[in-house]
Structure 1
Amino acid sequence: MAHGSWLTTCSPWSAFVTLAALTTSLLVLSYVSSSFLNQPAYEYDDPYSPDSESSAAALVPRRGPGYPPVFAYYITGGHGDCLRVTRLLKAVYHPRNRYLMHLDAGAGAYERARLASYVRSEQLFLEYGNVHVIGKGDPVDGRGPSSVAAVLRGASILLRVGAEWDWLVTLGAADYPLVTQDDLLDAFSSVPRDLNFIDHKADSKNQQVIVLDQNLLQSTNAEMSFSVGRREKPDAFELFRGSPSTILNRAFVEHCVAAPDNLPRTLLVYFSNTLDPTEFYFQTVMANSPRFRNSTVNHTLRFTVQDDHGAAPPQQGVEGQHRSRYDAMVSSGAAFAGRFGDDDALLQRVDEEVLRRPLDGVTPGEWCSGNGEDGECSVGGDIDAVRQGAAGRRLASLMAGLLGPGPCDGCRR
């Protein structure tokens, strides 16, 4: 396959950047593929994971027709985000699901050890054995290809550990759910499990900014280097762009990680020295793949939180802006929202009125066999049972509008 002009460079610096990117992209793909294909579970610099043998066989979620799906969560953060990702974990926790936590290299060993210590101290997580912490943080710059590499690595780990899952959800420390996991599992129970919820549209730009993401080359967080040159659009495939927040089905994730054909590899090389590849990589792979291009729902089920200046007229004051932001989030029917700032009062209202999450506890659900102290869930309930609430009905209504009148008719958009 000819790749046209996408390797064309505009200066010696651009040539160096392109060569470095080609090398590092092949290293990334080799690392991701080997961690998926060759390594046994838990050999991924993770001294903090619970013992996989500690979970009773009876606690493995039942799957298939008549049972809810299983989600895999990849939750990320950076320096100072330990408490935020811990809170997010408790908000999205359900025994059916699988969770992988990653604090990048900027967070430092102390924060990762603190997060791991919390996971090891929670009897609930130990009982179900479904929460894991990456012991060594990858250097990541959210604007560069290191962010794609981190997601692919996280996905490869999640493909190796625990029970099979149906969809991958990536969340950052500034994200938060707007529905309980019971609501989410119930809404997705009637959805074809080959669907991908991914915002995407053809990219109209003619050139891409060329960068060198040094986080691919070293062990600590580093600044990216920018080139004055630009890369022409390729002629072998069409570029698509969208929100980096996605809900991807397992088959597509496996396709990107294992790269059984040349497309994921080719696009990984192409995006290895471009800016904001998380807005392009999965969208472009999917849109150019005959197998997956008709499996998309062009929506992320995500609400973007407005800042204080855009949420409400200034005359309404802080309380009016807070109420406007909250009402807009809840009425959207979305499953998740981001990016939250430091407005703890807004998150607290979501906890109290939507999730019914007790202080410092996990979000309750039908799986709770009873309530412990302070309303916290106790261990031992039916993890295959879910119950729809008001937020779940709003989410189901949103999804029904996206999918069309029948279970499959109109769902691939």
Structure 2
Amino acid sequence: MHQHQQSPLPPSYTPNATATTALPKDHSKTTLYIILATSFFSLLFILSLPSTSSSSQSLITTGRDPVLFPNRPISRTEIPSGPTSPSIAYLISGSAGDSARILRLLFASYHPRNHYLLHLDLSAPQTERDRLAVTVQSVPIFRAAQNVDVIGKSDYAYPRGSSTISSTLHGASILLRLSSNWDWFISLNAGDYPLVTQDDLLHILSYLPKDLNFVNHTSYIGWKESKRLKPIIVDTGLYLLEKHEIFYATQKRELPNAFRLFSGSSFAILTRSFLEFCILGTDNLPRTLLMYFANMPYSFTNYFPTVLCNSDQFKSTVINNNLQYVAFNKSLSTKPHLVSSEEFDAMIQSAAAFATQFQFDDPVLDRIDQEILKRNPGKVVPGGWCLDEPGNGTCSVWGDADILRPGPGAKRLEKCIVELLSDDRYRSHQCLDE
């Protein structure tokens, strides 16, 4: 296991944002332009910094366990029995005291074909980060597959600022460097949990085009115009190594006329090609929007939907569903609440692949492990690559990682995807013009 020394880039999961203060009313527009320009170039500088230490290169040169990844000679006469299994890159983030939650989420979402990057922000002490890396290194399957890494140096990110965008993009850039064969990117925080096994998810994704992006989005602005789109903030998580306040300016910005704004949620399933489009700088659109959102509150929920729906290359790839279950308060439909055991049936019937807002070690997580994932405490989810006796649940005997054994979760997810891709619903819900 290798710890990657990351440049000062904020992570995508933080504690509650701190109190806000207003800038003096006599600040001129020139000051605002300086703030906007400084924020933009700081984002670009952060994303351009080296992501990993030299020790990470050993992941590329050291061979993985041949039992899990056997060498298959290419045969021109062999008839393929099914589609090639895809691979998912996961960024799993947490804050101080979240090591146990991150590990549980890692075990629950683990598959040897995938790639995992674990991220504890700067509110967590370095000793906790080191313990997390040592624990990961002690798990035999992680060592054999060489697909779990821990970021050694992190920074702050504020959910209300743009530092969360830079943190997510930076995590994705590390995963792009670590592996050249993953197809989709998913960013999870310590409060998330899967509702299907990875065999279920990979099986369904193997039958889909690898250019589909699952992103909740809408062009309806409504109340967000005055509360989230016009205010100007200074996100200190982009510049400082210590936790400071987010500042609100007294001036407001005008809405753009060069592109349309879209809002969504903080969770999405994004393709590798789209992440490369955002990170490698082959087009001006991602950089332009990065500059626009650099000083906007809650910009992380707006950035990816806006880039996707304003890009001629990617707007036809958007599915208006992120496959995540969120429990909303009935009185406040825009504010999610913690998932409880009473919502277990509704959560499973939603056919979502993930759910969010779980408390630490909530009993509903144990029920998901037992009834849905068939996972024993402290163990990974059994899959087709696991050759132990049925019901053993230890996966101490390994087989080919390309073998998938989907279960009931795949049938639920298949039904959901078929409905989403039906012609009338797919097109009518894509990059809405409301």
- TM-score calculated relative to the size of structure 1: 0.86
Q: Indicate the percent of aligned positions where both proteins have the same amino acid.
A: 39
The worse-fitting range, judged by mean Cα deviation, of 240-249 and 63-72 is 63-72
Find the residue that maps to 2:103 and give its secondary structure. helix
Taking structure 1 as reference, are residues 376 and 152 closer, same or farther at Cα in structure 2, changes over 3 Å only? Answer: same
> Partner amino acid for 2:393?
G
Q: Which residue of 2 aligns with 1:6?
A: none
Taking structure 1 as reference, are residues 392 and 33 closer, same or farther at Cα in structure 2, changes over 3 Å only? Answer: same
Q: Which residue of 1 aligns with 2:183?
A: 166
Q: 2 CA distance for matches of 1:165 and 1:29?
A: 24
> Partner amino acid for 2:388?
G
- What does the per-residue CA deviation read over 1:262-306, in whole Å, with 9 as the maximum and x for residues that have no partner? 111111111111100111111111111110011100000000135
1:151 maps to 2:168: yes
Q: Which residue of 2 aligns with 1:198?
A: 215
> Partner amino acid for 1:251?
S
Q: Which residue of 1 aligns with 2:194?
A: 177
Taking structure 1 as reference, are residues 51 and 31 closer, same or farther at Cα in structure 2, changes over 3 Å only? Answer: same
Q: Which residue of 2 aligns with 1:316?
A: none
Taking structure 1 as reference, are residues 262 and 351 closer, same or farther at Cα in structure 2, changes over 3 Å only? Answer: same
Structure 2: stretches of 5+ with no match in the other structure? 1-24, 75-79, 333-338
The worse-fitting range, judged by mean Cα deviation, of 215-224 and 11-20 is 11-20
Q: 2 CA distance for matches of 1:93 and 1:14?
A: 50
> Partner amino acid for 1:357?
R
1:395-406 mapped onto 2 (5 Å cutoff)? 395-404=413-422
The worse-fitting range, judged by mean Cα deviation, of 117-126 and 337-346 is 337-346
Q: Which residue of 1 aligns with 2:305?
A: 283
1:44 maps to 2:39: no
1:213 maps to 2:235: yes
Deviation at 1:30, TM superposition (A): 3.2
1:26 to 17, 23, 41: 41
Q: Which residue of 1 aligns with 2:6?
A: none
- What does the per-residue CA deviation read over 1:60-114, in whole Å, with 9 as the maximum and x for residues that have no partner? 5999972111100011111111110111001000000010111111112121111
Q: Which residue of 1 aligns with 2:347?
A: 329
Q: What's the RMSD between the two structures over aligned residues?
A: 3.0
Deviation at 1:53, TM superposition (A): 3.4
Maintained 8 Å contact 1:46/1:134: no
Find the residue that maps to 1:80 and give its secondary structure. coil
The worse-fitting range, judged by mean Cα deviation, of 13-22 and 159-168 is 13-22
Q: Which residue of 2 aligns with 1:389?
A: 407
Q: Which residue of 2 aligns with 1:122?
A: 139
- What does the per-residue CA deviation read over 1:331-374, in whole Å, with 9 as the maximum and x for residues that have no partner? 11000000112462010100110001111101111111225996
Find the residue that maps to 2:316 and give its secondary structure. coil
Q: 2 CA distance for matches of 1:111 and 1:279?
A: 29
Maintained 8 Å contact 1:354/1:391: yes
1:131 to 148, 160, 163: 148
Q: Which residue of 1 aligns with 2:19?
A: none
Q: Which residue of 2 aligns with 1:314?
A: none
Taking structure 1 as reference, are residues 371 and 117 closer, same or farther at Cα in structure 2, changes over 3 Å only? Answer: farther
1:70 maps to 2:87: yes
Deviation at 1:253, TM superposition (A): 0.4
Find the residue that maps to 1:198 and give its secondary structure. strand
- What does the per-residue CA deviation read over 1:187-241, in whole Å, with 9 as the maximum and x for residues that have no partner? 1111111110001111422652111011111123332111222211011111110
Maintained 8 Å contact 1:170/1:245: yes
Structure 1: stretches of 5+ with no match in the other structure? 1-9, 36-42, 311-320
Find the residue that maps to 2:163 and give its secondary structure. helix
Q: Which residue of 2 aligns with 1:38?
A: none
Taking structure 1 as reference, are residues 128 and 342 closer, same or farther at Cα in structure 2, changes over 3 Å only? Answer: closer
1:56 maps to 2:64: yes
Q: 2 CA distance for matches of 1:364 and 1:292?
A: 35
Taking structure 1 as reference, are residues 373 and 117 closer, same or farther at Cα in structure 2, changes over 3 Å only? Answer: farther
Deviation at 1:51, TM superposition (A): 4.2
Find the residue that maps to 2:230 and give its secondary structure. strand
Answer 1 or 2: which has greater helix percent. Answer: 1
Deviation at 1:127, TM superposition (A): 0.5
Deviation at 1:15, TM superposition (A): 4.6
> Partner amino acid for 2:294?
S
Find the residue that maps to 1:246 and give its secondary structure. strand
Q: Which residue of 2 aligns with 1:107?
A: 124
Find the residue that maps to 1:243 and give its secondary structure. strand
- What does the per-residue CA deviation read over 1:164-190, in whole Å, with 9 as the maximum and x for residues that have no partner? 111000100000000000000011111
The worse-fitting range, judged by mean Cα deviation, of 275-284 and 366-375 is 366-375
Maintained 8 Å contact 1:73/1:99: yes
Deviation at 1:57, TM superposition (A): 7.2
Q: 2 CA distance for matches of 1:295 and 1:12?
A: 43
Aligned residue-pair number: 387
1:341 maps to 2:359: yes
Taking structure 1 as reference, are residues 376 and 307 closer, same or farther at Cα in structure 2, changes over 3 Å only? Answer: farther
Q: Which residue of 1 aligns with 2:77?
A: none
2:27 to 12, 19, 23: 12
Find the residue that maps to 2:267 and give its secondary structure. coil
Q: 1 CA distance for matches of 2:56 and 2:134?
A: 8
Deviation at 1:380, TM superposition (A): 2.9
> Partner amino acid for 2:245?
E
Maintained 8 Å contact 1:17/1:273: no
Q: Which residue of 1 aligns with 2:247?
A: 225
Deviation at 1:52, TM superposition (A): 4.0
Maintained 8 Å contact 1:139/1:222: no
Q: 2 CA distance for matches of 1:183 and 1:106?
A: 35
The worse-fitting range, judged by mean Cα deviation, of 136-145 and 214-223 is 214-223
1:352 to 370, 374, 379: 370
Q: Which residue of 2 aligns with 1:40?
A: none
Taking structure 1 as reference, are residues 265 and 60 closer, same or farther at Cα in structure 2, changes over 3 Å only? Answer: farther
Taking structure 1 as reference, are residues 45 and 277 closer, same or farther at Cα in structure 2, changes over 3 Å only? Answer: farther
